[in-house]
């Protein structure tokens, strides 16, 4: 029995892993608590899966793909797509429930998580429509006695490792295209936010997706995650998370000759030119950093302002930041909740201290709220002005509600500052000059560039990172390629085969 069938009472204890179509206790016989960052209390216990559980899940996934008698292997592409459509319908029915679970796990406001979960079904529907459109090609060789064609085959078993900030959305980015291509998946959610993933498994079970196709193994990264990356039957690893962890996973996967997709960290520039519609740009800057409590790899954490508008823009931004409603993330009126964990709060606080010690000027926030909001993990929206792009607060991914404002004099300097970072995930450009918009967008080294908006996203467009922000893409038609192999088949049309070792 999964969370879905047990209800959401605070007394929930010792949930189960989902392996080969069955809910099972972890082989470790261990569970750990998931802490609500707002209340500070543990509200559900998560199974601590280990190497034995990962092995069972991977073997089930391997059989689903490679055993010719398995139900999944025998399905037509259209039938695979129908399962994805059915899963989308079921997830739509449980969107509110899953949103509430994520709010209790990571503290993001319900207004954000509700919207996110309402959009997840469209990802499964999009790839349901692509399942029967995967095809090979016929190639004409120079030799007319030969025929060549290609077949597209599933890459096999996909190990999907997801972070704590948007658990089921980022899982959908991996699971939906992987299944459309005919693969099977072992999902390892972040240990801080496994609850909705385990409930997702119950939805999968109710839909009747064939056994072994989707497996969910919660557990700690050093145990379950490491075992998944190293397992000899895992054919690909898709990871979303921090750059340091991604580097470790990529190294481990490379040692086992596994391909990877990596969506990693960011320190994204949000560039405002003096000819921009400034009211829109201020709102875009505010949304770009303080949405999701700044806990997003695509957060616009570096605001680049032209010197002609710098002071007035910062004043307006501080005024709007002061009006952001902090409070209980379960309250629809709350606009910013607590930071997701004690560990993350301490990390963000250390960066605020670094900013104070630098030449930067703290112009807003930097402290917990003065009123009691029910949790000690709140931090006011924090803005530093006069930031040097070489400083730690401008170069390191803080992953919290901390904005670094950097001044520039002209277009060339803005581009130079924007690219002067190890990251290259996203960027924003605000200008009414369409020529400038294109010039700057082409020179920014980032996988996604927004012009006169920030954070627009959707399943229809691919996205990926440059530099230390990763490689490969997620979303769009293009992502299906990440989960396919190409096989070339040569057909001899001549009725005789020459003996190349005989006499001339």
For the annotated catalytic residues, the residue numbers are 263, 297
Contact 382, 365 (CB under 8 A): yes
| DSSP-assigned letters across all residues of 380-408 | --EEEES--TTSHHHHS---SSEEEEEEE
| Closest residue by Cα to residue 158 from 210, 214, 197 | 214
Residue 41 CB-density burial (10 A; 0-12 exposed, 13-18 middle, 19+ buried) = exposed
d(CA 366, CA 352): 6
d(CA 489, CA 468): 37
Sign of CA dihedral 466, 467, 468, 472: positive
User: Secondary structure of 82-99 in the HEC alphabet?
Assistant: HHHHHHHHHHHHCHHHHH
Residue the block writes with tokens 């949790």: 375
SS3 247: helix
Q: DSSP character for 326?
A: B
Tokens for 134, please give them: 């995967």
Q: Compute the C-alpha angle 235/241/243, nearest 5°.
A: 95
d(CA 182, CA 166): 25
Contact 234, 43 (CB under 8 A): no
Contact 355, 55 (CB under 8 A): no
- Spatial neighbors of 460 by CB under 8 A, at least 6 apart, are 126, 475, 476
d(CA 61, CA 310): 55
């Amino acid at each position: 029995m999964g969370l879905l069938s047990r209800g959401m009472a605070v007394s929930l204890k010792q949930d189960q892993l989902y392996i080969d179509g069955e809910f099972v206790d972890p082989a470790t016989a261990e569970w750990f608590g998931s802490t609500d960052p707002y209340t500070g209390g543990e509200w559900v216990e998560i199974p601590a899966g280990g190497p034995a559980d990962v092995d069972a899940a991977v073997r089930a996934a391997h059989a689903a793909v490679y055993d010719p008698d398995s139900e999944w292997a025998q399905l037509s592409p259209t039938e695979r797509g129908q399962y994805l459509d059915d899963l989308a319908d079921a997830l739509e029915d449980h969107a509110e429930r899953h949103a509430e679970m994520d709010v209790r796990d990571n503290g993001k406001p319900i207004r954000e998580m509700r919207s996110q979960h309402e959009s997840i079904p469209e990802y499964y529907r999009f790839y349901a429509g692509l399942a029967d459109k995967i095809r090979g090609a016929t190639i004409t060789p120079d030799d007319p006695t030969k025929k060549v064609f290609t077949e597209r085959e599933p890459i096999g078993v996909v190990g999907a490792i997801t972070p704590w900030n948007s658990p089921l959305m980022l899982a959908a980015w991996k699971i939906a295209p992987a299944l459309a291509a005919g693969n099977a998946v072992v999902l390892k959610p972040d240990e801080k936010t496994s609850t909705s993933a385990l409930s997702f498994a119950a939805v999968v079970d109710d839909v009747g997706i064939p056994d072994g196709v989707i497996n969910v193994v919660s557990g700690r990264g050093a145990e379950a995650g490491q075992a998944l990356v190293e397992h000899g039957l895992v054919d690909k690893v898709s990871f979303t998370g921090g750059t340091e962890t991604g580097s470790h996973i990529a190294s481990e996967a490379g040692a086992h000759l596994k391909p990877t997709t990596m969506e990693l960290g960011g320190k994204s520039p949000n560039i405002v030119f003096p000819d921009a519609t400034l009211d829109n740009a201020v709102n875009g800057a505010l949304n770009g950093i303080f949405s999701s409590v700044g806990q997003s790899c695509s957060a616009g954490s570096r605001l680049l302002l032209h010197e002609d508008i710098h002071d007035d823009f910062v004043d307006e931004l501080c005024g709007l930041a002061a009006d952001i409603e902090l409070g209980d993330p379960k309250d629809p009126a709350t606009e910013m909740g607590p930071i997701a964990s004690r560990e993350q709060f301490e990390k963000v606080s250390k960066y605020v201290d670094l900013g104070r010690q630098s030449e930067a000027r703290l112009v807003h926030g930097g402290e917990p709220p003065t009123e009691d909001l029910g949790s000690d993990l709140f931090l006011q929206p924090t803005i530093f002005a006069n930031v040097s792009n070489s400083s730690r607060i401008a170069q390191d991914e803080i992953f919290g509600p901390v904005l670094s404002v950097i001044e520039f004099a002209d277009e060339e300097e803005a581009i130079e500052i924007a690219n002067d970072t190890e990251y290259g995930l996203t960027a924003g450009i605000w200008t009414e000059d369409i020529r400038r918009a294109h010039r700057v967008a082409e020179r920014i080294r980032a996988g996604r560039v927004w012009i006169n908006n920030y954070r627009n996203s959707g399943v229809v467009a691919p996205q990926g990172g440059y530099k230390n922000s990763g490689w490969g893409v997620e979303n769009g038609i293009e992502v299906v390629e990440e989960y396919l192999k190409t096989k070339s088949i040569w057909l001899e049309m001549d009725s005789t085969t020459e003996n190349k070792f005989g006499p001339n």
